Each structure stands twice: as C-alpha cells, then as structure tokens.
Amino acid sequence: MGEFLKRLAAPLVVVFLVLLTIVSMVGDRRARETGGRDLPWWQASLLEITAPIERLVSAPFVATRDFYEGYVDLIGVRAENRRLERRIAEIEAENLQFREALVASGHLGRVASMRDEVEIPMLPAEVVGLDVAPWFRSVLVDRGTQHGVEPGQPVITHEGVVGVVTATSGHAAKTMLLLDRQSAVDALVQRSRARGVVRGVGRDRLEFEFVVRGADVVEGDEVVTSGLGGVYPKGLRLGRVSQLRDAGGRLTRIAVIEPAVDLGQLEQVFVMLRRGPQMDLLYQPNLPLEDLDGPAPVGAPPPESPAEGESGEGGE
C-alpha cells in the first residue's frame, strides 16, 4: 500500500497544481469581468513566495540578454560615430574650400579693377618664404628671371605698395619690404600734396619725414608714391598718417604711417614688369665702352678698321 501511495504521489501533485492553475485562471477571468478583486490569502501567499524565486532564476538570463543587446548596440553606435566623424570632416573641408573660393573671388575682383586702372603689365606671384636674417624685412616669391622678373621692379597688391625686387634666380625673387631699414620712397600727401620721404624702421610702421615750413599734414591723410625716384609709379598707396611728432629740433617733422598693406599676412602679390632708368644704372652699372666714350663729334670721320688700313697700305 505504501509503495502504491508513493507511486501516486507525483501524479497527484501534478493534478493538484493543474487544477489549482485552472481555478486561478477562471477566478482571474471572472475578476476582470467584474472589475477586479483581491486575491485569496493562499494565492497571495503563493505569489509572495514564487515572485522572488522567479526573479532570482531569471536574473542570469536577463543580465546575459542585456549585455548582448548593449554590446551589439555599442558596436552599432561606434560604427555610426565613425561614419559621422568622417562626414563632419568632409563637410568642414568643403566649407573651408568654399570660404577660400569666396575670398579668392573677391580678391580677384579687386585685382581686375586695379589692372584696369594701372596700365603697366603685372605678373601674379605667391609668397613662398621669409628672409631668415632677422635684421632684414624681405620675402621670397615664386617668380624669377624665367618669368621676366628683374631686380628693381616694384611689388604691389590691390591695397598698395609691398616693396621692390632686389635679387632674382631662375624661378624665385627676393623682395625688400617697405618696412626694411634700407627702404626709402619719395612720397606725397594725397590731400595737400606735401612731399617727403617714407622710410622703413624695421617694425610694423613707417615714418614719413617732411619739411615743416608750409607742410599741411594731419592725422588720417593718405600718403602715396610721388613717382620720383625711378622705382614706383605715381599714385600707389603707401599708408595712412596715424601720428605726428617732432624730429628732434630739426627743420623737419615725422609722421608715423600705418602701411596700406598688411605686410605680415602676405599671400599673393603682383610684380610690375617695369623698371625705371635709375634702377638700370643701379643694377647694370657696367656699360659698354662705346657708351662710356659718348657719341662721336659731328663731322668726324668714322674710325677705320685694321683690316681696311692694311688693305690700303698693300694697295699703295
């Protein structure tokens, strides 16, 4: 009998649990239809016991699922971030090119208008370097004798004067800036026509030295080239008067000039393909002997060549 009860114990427990489940389901359905009800004490007790057990049993599976989903999502987010970073870099590069194109178009427009005003051929050039010597103020451009550039030719931008070419090679040229201490330009005040000399002082300013008597120079005056001196054509902008001061008891005064061109931010310049006669004397001092002797006197017979003299003597 005891063995029979032991054999029936497991099926009876299963049947009891199935019946309990069916009763609970029927009760829950009726409760939903009637608007809800409180659980009986035995169901509430069973729920309180089984809920923590189910939570404990399902915790590893939930953690594994969350980890896997988070890892997969993280891989997707990382790939998306890389894609967005590449796209942002491409957009920034495109914006930079567009901005540079806008700046270049405005610059070329000003250059075109300047070419219409100045009838001297001009060669565009790029600034490719600075002079390594700290006591000189000069730059290197990427045009040389192969492009028609010679020492003594002015270098300008659409804003005004930059300097003058002082040395050349086949494909490069050295340009002395207005700021150099050796630079001196004959200039005049555009408003009052007062004349003087603009000199470089090695810093970011220029000095305009003019005679005090009768000179009408005030702050804000534009200073331009006078055309004298044989280097720069007349009317090119040099800068604006920013300050006036005495020259230490001499008969002259000095005006501090702010350059028209930002000489520390040069990128594109133009070499004016002209050179005055003074520059020819400076950079080509060795003239042929016949030029040094001067023209022959009027009425003087032309000199006989040695071959003609010898032939005449042989004929006699």
Domain ranges in the chain are 1-30, 37-117, 122-283
**Per-residue pLDDT at 54 exceeds 70:** no
Cβ neighbours around 153 below 10 Å, total = 25
Per-residue pLDDT at 15 = 77
Q: What is the pLDDT of residues 203-257, one digit of tens each?
A: 888 999 988 767 889 999 999 999 888 888 888 999 999 998 876 666 778 999 9
Output the CATH code of domain 122-283.
2.40.10.340
Mean predicted confidence (pLDDT) in 104-126: 67
Closest CA to 156 of 270, 308, 24: 270
Dump strand ranges (E) for 138-266: 138-141, 154-156, 161-168, 173-177, 184-189, 195-200, 206-211, 222-225, 237-246, 252-259
What does the H/E/C string look like for 254-297? EEEEEECCCCCCCCEEEEECCCCHHHHHHHCCCCCHHHHHCCCC
Per-residue pLDDT at 291 = 45
Closest CA to 236 of 267, 255, 259: 259
More confident residue, 78 or 309: 78
pLDDT band for position 178 (cuts 50, 70, 90)? very high
Q: Which two tokens mark 212? A: 């005090």
pLDDT band for position 300 (cuts 50, 70, 90)? very low
pLDDT band for position 63 (cuts 50, 70, 90)? confident
More confident residue, 232 or 96: 232
Weakest-pLDDT range from 20-34, 113-127, 223-237, 269-283 = 20-34
Per-residue pLDDT at 31 = 58
Percent of the chain with pLDDT over 90: 26
Per-residue pLDDT at 100 = 58
Q: Which two tokens mark 263? A: 């000489």
Per-residue pLDDT at 103 = 59
pTM, rounded to two decimals? 0.57
